[in-house]
Amino acid sequence: MLTQAELLTKKGTYIRQMFGSIARVYDLLNTILSFNLDKSWRKFAVRVSNVVPDAKILDVCTGTGDLAIEYSRVLNQNGKVIGSDFCHEMVKIAGRKLKKKGLSGKIEVIGADTLHLPFRDNYFHISAVAFGIRNVSGLRSGIIEMMRITVPGGRVVILEFSQPTNPLFRGIYYFYFKKVLPCIGKLISRSRYNAYSYLPTSVVNFPDRYELRAEMESCGLQNVEIYSRTLGIVTIHIGQKALQ
């Protein structure tokens, strides 16, 4: 069984195994553990992305495709969304979900590593990620790769867990996040990899909202905006790739 120390190295093989072990219950646990708020967070991220109806959008670390589905709702027949993930089990479940929803023609899901995306430079209008960049083995490298495939003037959108700033709420939230959530996650997922203990630990060790903005700016993104949701539980960062 993988230890927390091994998972926190974010080595690709470890992360892939962990997510593969929870893929079958991933959607259910997202709903239960977020009190169904995860859907509103993705919808808000799409809303502030300023999507044009015929945009080409890439959703990296797509998991079971939920962010890709939200983006598809605001596109016309000329728009296209591709979801990529390096976990084979997640890609399979995403494919089945899209087929069931009749979205296979509008959204494509592929197996791909966010650090080595199989797309040419300057192709997508938006590259986005929801709750995935935190698990990439190289944060800076992941952002730069997302920038590479984005057109000049296009946007990089990062929806990620954050750390609440209000001391009282933060104490209550961290009790749930660190004590209750891992127990529920382990009980339902029956994962051997302690995925839902890794989750809060990885969030606490991830850059805070201002550090993430600084990292995005250091990669070359401009006009980085931060949107906080649900008392700071999550944030959406949106940066623009420089015009050439």
Question: So what's the pLDDT on residue 2?
Answer: 62
**pLDDT given for residue 160 in this prediction:** 98
- Residue 76 pLDDT level (bands cut at 50, 70, 90): very high
* pLDDT for residue 208: 96
In angstroms, what CA-CA distances link 28 with 75, 120, 175, 188?
Answer: 27, 35, 22, 9
| Range(s) of the domain holding residue 225 | 4-240
- Report yes or no: 79 and 53 within 8 Å, Cβ to Cβ: yes
Residues with Cβ within 8 Å of 32's Cβ and at least 6 positions away in sequence, in order, are 184, 188
Number of domains in the chain: 1
pLDDT in tens, 122-143: 999 999 999 999 999 999 999 9
What is each CA distance from 65 to 69, 104, 238, in whole angstroms?
6, 11, 20
Alpha carbons 12 and 59: distance in angstroms, whole number: 18
Q: How far apart are CA 19 and CA 26, in angstroms?
A: 8
Q: Residue 202 — pLDDT band, cuts 50, 70, 90? A: very high
Q: Residue 11: what pLDDT?
A: 73
* DSSP assignment of 150-206: EEEEEEEEEEEE-----HHHHHHHHHIIIIIHHHHHHHHH--TT-HHHHHHHHHHHS
- Look-up of token digits 């649900």: 230
152-157 average pLDDT score: 98
| Cα–Cα distance, 53 to 26 (Å, whole number) | 29
Domain containing residue 168: CATH number: 3.40.50.150
DSSP class of 84: E
What does the DSSP 8-state code read for residue 25? G
What pLDDT digit, counting tens, does each position of 166-197 carry? 999 999 999 999 999 999 999 999 887 888 99
Task: Specify the pLDDT at position 8.
Answer: 62
Q: What pLDDT does residue 244 have?
A: 73
**What does the alpha-carbon distance between residue 175 and residue 76 come to, in Å, rounded to a whole number?**
43
pLDDT tens digits, 50-66: 999 999 999 999 999 99
pLDDT at position 13: 86
3-45: per-residue pLDDT in tens? 666 666 777 888 999 999 999 999 999 999 999 999 999 999 9
